[in-house]
């Protein structure tokens, strides 16, 4: 089991996860022309907190995650809620290509900084989106390495302007970004640190 498998059952008990998702959901619906007929995909969906907040805005949502335990929790929540327009897919899009479906919107929160090669994932997002489709990425601004423990091997946040340039190189346009939430967490010696989270939106040409 990886760290997310181990955390899956308790994930929803952290009130910050729900609060953060609420701000991100608000940003997505305010900045993207979301319409009821659209088909969406959440990448790195975890237990689906964000997608449950957005489920009434889309015709269908496919929730993708590489953690079997996260998917298990999400399936239980979907079954309990009777959300007929939501379905899960256990898949590692970072390691495997998938181009059998197309989406109007792809969104992801707090997943990108775990991805080793973001160019690969942006290329796959581009090909999974319909022409004129939209991408929304919520993730950490640059941080000093204190957000994770010492075993973390991902990105210490992103310079959002540089990330926008990378997206432009992948043929995304109409790129906008703003700070949508700030995570507050006590670190060593009970020092309270703030970690801003950006929401970046882009259109596939």
Q: β-strands 192-204, 129-140: how paired?
A: antiparallel
How confident is the prediction along the chain (205 residues), in pLDDT tens digits per residue?
678 878 899 999 999 999 999 999 999 999 999 999 999 999 999 999 999 999 999 999 999 999 999 999 999 999 999 999 999 999 999 999 988 899 999 999 999 999 999 999 999 999 999 999 999 999 999 999 999 888 898 999 999 999 999 999 999 999 999 999 999 988 777 789 999 999 999 999 9
What pLDDT score does 37 carry? 96
Q: What is the pTM of this model?
A: 0.95
What the block records as the tokens of 93 is: 């899009």
CATH class, 3-204 region: alpha beta
pLDDT of 151 reads: 83
SS3 (DSSP) at 68:
helix
Determine how many CB atoms are found less than 10 A away from the CB of residue 139.
22
Task: Note the pLDDT of residue 171.
Answer: 96
Helix (H, G, I), strand (E, B) or coil at 2: coil
Between CA 41 and CA 12 the distance in angstroms is 20
């Amino acid at each position: 089991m990886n760290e997310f498998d181990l955390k899956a059952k308790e994930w929803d008990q952290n009130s910050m996860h729900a609060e953060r998702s609420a701000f991100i959901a608000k940003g997505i619906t305010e900045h993207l022309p979301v319409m009821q007929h659209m088909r969406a995909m959440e990448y790195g969906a975890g237990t689906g907190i964000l997608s449950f907040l957005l489920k009434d805005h889309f015709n269908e949502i496919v929730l993708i995650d590489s953690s079997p335990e996260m998917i298990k929790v999400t399936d239980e929540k979907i079954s309990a809620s009777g959300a007929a327009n939501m379905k899960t897919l256990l898949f590692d899009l970072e390691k495997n290509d998938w181009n059998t479906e197309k989406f109007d919107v792809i969104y992801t929160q707090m997943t990108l900084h775990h991805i080793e090669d973001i160019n690969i994932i942006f290329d796959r997002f581009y090909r999974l989106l319909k022409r004129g489709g939209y991408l929304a990425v919520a993730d950490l601004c640059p941080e000093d390495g204190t957000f994770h423990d010492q075993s973390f091997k991902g990105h210490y946040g992103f310079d959002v302007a540089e990330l926008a340039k990378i997206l432009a190189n992948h043929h995304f346009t109409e790129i906008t970004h703003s700070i949508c939430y700030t995570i507050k967490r006590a670190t060593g010696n009970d020092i309270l640190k703030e970690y801003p989270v950006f929401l970046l939106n882009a259109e596939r040409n």
